[in-house]
Amino acid sequence: MTCMRYEPPEMDDTFKEIIFRSRMPPDKAAKYLDVRPHTIKRWIKDNSAPYMARKLLLLKFGNLGTLWPDWDGWRFCGDDLWTPEDVHYSRGDIQALFWYRQQIRGLKADLREAKQKAELLTRPSADIIPFKRG
């Protein structure tokens, strides 16, 4: 599936614009919203779609900012999550984030330990008490 960048519909759009910009045929919108196609046509004509019908379409076809403003511009396309910069993450990528974080924590700890050892090895010899045989 190819996911081309497009302007997702927004809550301020008329219902007709939401249907058009979401690229969903009215008969499929009717099936998705569990209403008759005639109802969709009436909502388009009168711009009278219920709030939740509008919101469901917005979530399905675009802007996750509909739910949370911080997610504005993020969208789903197929099974992938796309950023506003057009970088996509698969479900597997997202599931792997926990393990990446664990790996980074371990590497940071290893780096701290290596730096401490290097510091001990590079200390001036004046810090070392010489051994004298008696």
Residue-wise pLDDT for 54-91, tens only, equals 888 887 776 777 778 888 878 877 788 888 888 989 99
Tell me how far apart the alpha carbons of residues 17 and 74 are, in angstroms, rounded to a whole number: 19
Tell me how far apart the alpha carbons of residues 35 and 26 are, in angstroms, rounded to a whole number: 11
The pTM of the full predicted model, rounded to 2 decimals, is 0.53
Question: Tokens standing for 118?
Answer: 């290097």
Ranges 22-26, 46-50, 55-59, most confident: 46-50
- Domain limits of the chain? 15-89, 93-123
The per-residue pLDDT for range 89-107, each reduced to its tens digit, is 999 999 999 999 999 999 9
The 3-state DSSP class for residue 8 equals coil
